[in-house]
């Protein structure tokens, strides 16, 4: 590729060139047939934008507030594991990139750098993600989140066990050293399975964790809880009843259950069920500012960005993370200006046409 990357796909290509195949496959891949992986991005293409003309767009303000935290744009770094496989500085570089762009950093507990290393290296607003781990591990997550100044806990609900990622199995993917797990589990996870990531998770997850356990989680922390991995109105209602502070519509970047729908196609179902009681966020397949605009028009308060941030990190470390986030911010700003929206509240349902609406209007 000649010159600087001009879009996220070009960052992905740089990452592919920079990384050993095993690691690129780990970051880029999805579960089984990867149907959902393709759909997550394709479904955005089937939504069109209904721009409004002759609006004064001389000043565009993308800032918003998420769970009381001001951010420069409705963009959050999604919690993703193992950043040192992309770049030796790992999550510390990612968090610094997020801080430089004034957006919220979602840190996975399965990070390579420790919670404390990330917290002490930057002043980004940070949310800490936990899986439905065994209770002693969740208690540790909560303690670390609270003592290191994190502002929320993200509970990932879609991973009672690890999805089947066939590239990792073929590559005999080896899990990196996960800083927060030092001394907690055998660091040399011996596995007769072909991917040690699978062995790691099998040792730490609690597949019996269910809705009633959210009450327990709430009893051990004062931090607000965002539940991640909701795809239906039924579960959105259960999440509200359980008392969560926010919902993230997510299919885990298509890495868990294949043949779940593209997240953008179920966002409205969840938003309608939630009735404004808590903020609804979305991740999965966001590669353009127009994608962010579409998610906001369909009711998302903000979006989380997973792989693009890792591609930036792999290509250029901290400055690559910053460039990727800036690129998405610039594209969103451009979309808002050309669609006639001066701030995020101006982006409404009438600014997009879904595939279903296009189909109905042709009948």
Ligand X SMILES: Cc1cc2nc3c(=O)[nH]c(=O)nc-3n(C[C@H](O)[C@H](O)[C@H](O)COP(=O)(O)O)c2cc1C
Separation of alpha carbons 272 and 276, rounded Å = 8
Separation of alpha carbons 300 and 285, rounded Å = 14
Q: Which CB atom, from 84 or from 156, has the smaller least distance to ligand X? A: 156
Binding of residue 201 to ligand COI (CB under 6 A): yes
Sites for ligand X among residues 231-260 (CB under 6 A): 250, 252-253, 255
275 annotated as ligand-binding? no
Binding of residue 130 to ligand COI (CB under 6 A): no
Give the residue nearest to ligand COI (CB): 81
Separation of alpha carbons 100 and 103, rounded Å = 8
Binding of residue 283 to ligand X (CB under 6 A): yes
Q: How far apart, in Å, are the Cα atoms of 38 and each of 31, 42, 236, 253?
A: 11, 6, 24, 10
DSSP-assigned beta bridge partners for residue 249? 230, 282
| Near ligand X by CB under 6 A: residue from 74, 79, 246, 299 | 79
Contact (Cβ atoms closer than 8 angstroms) between residue 154 and residue 230: no
Contact (Cβ atoms closer than 8 angstroms) between residue 159 and residue 131: yes
Contact (Cβ atoms closer than 8 angstroms) between residue 143 and residue 132: no
Q: What is the signed CA dihedral for 177, 181, 187, 192, rounded to 10 degrees?
A: -90
Residue 305 interacting partner from ligand COI, ligand X, none (CB closer than 5 to 8 Å by kind):
ligand X
**Minimum CB separation from ligand X for residue 110, in Å?**
4
Q: Is 252 a catalytic residue?
A: yes
Q: x/- contact string, 143-162, with ligand COI (CB under 6 A)?
A: -------------------x
Q: Which CB atom, from 87 or from 252, has the smaller least distance to ligand COI? A: 252
307 annotated as ligand-binding? yes
**Minimum CB separation from ligand COI for residue 117, in Å?**
18
- What token pair was written down for 342? 């001066």
Q: What is the helix, strand, coil percentage profile of the chain, to 5?
A: 45, 15, 40
149 annotated as ligand-binding? no
Contact (Cβ atoms closer than 8 angstroms) between residue 30 and residue 255: yes
Sites for ligand COI among residues 257-286 (CB under 6 A): none
Binding of residue 228 to ligand X (CB under 6 A): yes
Identify the active-site residue in 83, 87, 252, 351.
Answer: 252
Separation of alpha carbons 233 and 145, rounded Å = 29
Residue 197 interacting partner from ligand X, ligand COI, none (CB closer than 5 to 8 Å by kind):
ligand COI
Annotated binding site for glyoxylate: 252, 255
The residues assigned a catalytic role are 252
| Chain positions contacting ligand COI, by CB under 6 A | 81, 110, 162, 197, 201, 252, 255
Extract the annotated binding site. 129, 156, 228, 250, 252, 255, 283-287, 306-307
């Amino acid at each position: 590729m000649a010159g600087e990357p001009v879009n996220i796909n070009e960052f992905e290509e740089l990452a592919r060139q920079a990384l050993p195949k095993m690691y690129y496959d780990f970051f880029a891949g999805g579960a089984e047939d990867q149907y959902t992986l393709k759909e997550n991005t394709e479904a955005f293409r089937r939504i069109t934008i209904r721009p409004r003309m002759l609006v004064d767009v001389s000043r565009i303000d993308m800032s918003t507030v998420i769970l009381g935290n001001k951010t420069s744009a409705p963009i959050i770094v999604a919690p993703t594991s193992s950043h040192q496989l992309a770049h030796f500085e790992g999550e510390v570089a990612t968090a610094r990139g997020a801080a430089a762009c004034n957006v919220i950093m979602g840190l996975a507990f399965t990070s390579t750098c420790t919670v404390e290393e990330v917290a002490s290296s930057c002043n980004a607003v940070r949310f800490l993600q936990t899986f439905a781990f065994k209770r002693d591990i969740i208690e540790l997550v909560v303690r670390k989140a609270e003592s290191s100044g994190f502002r929320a806990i993200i509970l990932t609900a879609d991973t009672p066990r690890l999805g089947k990622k066939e590239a990792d199995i073929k590559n005999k993917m080896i899990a990196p050293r996960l800083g927060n797990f030092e001394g907690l589990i055998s660091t040399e996870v011996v596995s007769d399975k072909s991917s040690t990531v699978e062995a790691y998770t099998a040792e730490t997850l609690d597949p019996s964790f269910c809705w009633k356990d959210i009450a327990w989680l709430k009893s051990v922390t004062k931090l607000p809880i965002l539940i991640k991995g909701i795809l239906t109105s039924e579960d959105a209602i259960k999440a509200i009843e359980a008392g969560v502070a926010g919902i993230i519509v997510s299919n885990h970047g298509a890495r868990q259950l294949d043949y779940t729908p593209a997240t953008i196609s179920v966002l409205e179902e969840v938003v309608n069920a939630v009735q404004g009681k808590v903020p609804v966020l979305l991740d999965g397949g966001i590669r353009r500012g127009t994608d962010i605009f579409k998610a906001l028009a369909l009711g998302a308060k903000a979006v989380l960005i997973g792989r693009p941030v890792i591609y930036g990190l792999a290509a250029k470390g901290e400055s690559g993370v910053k460039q990727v986030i800036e690129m998405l911010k610039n594209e969103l700003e451009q979309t808002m200006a050309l669609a006639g929206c001066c701030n995020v509240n101006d982006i409404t349902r009438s600014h997009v046409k879904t595939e279903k609406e296009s189909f109905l209007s042709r009948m």
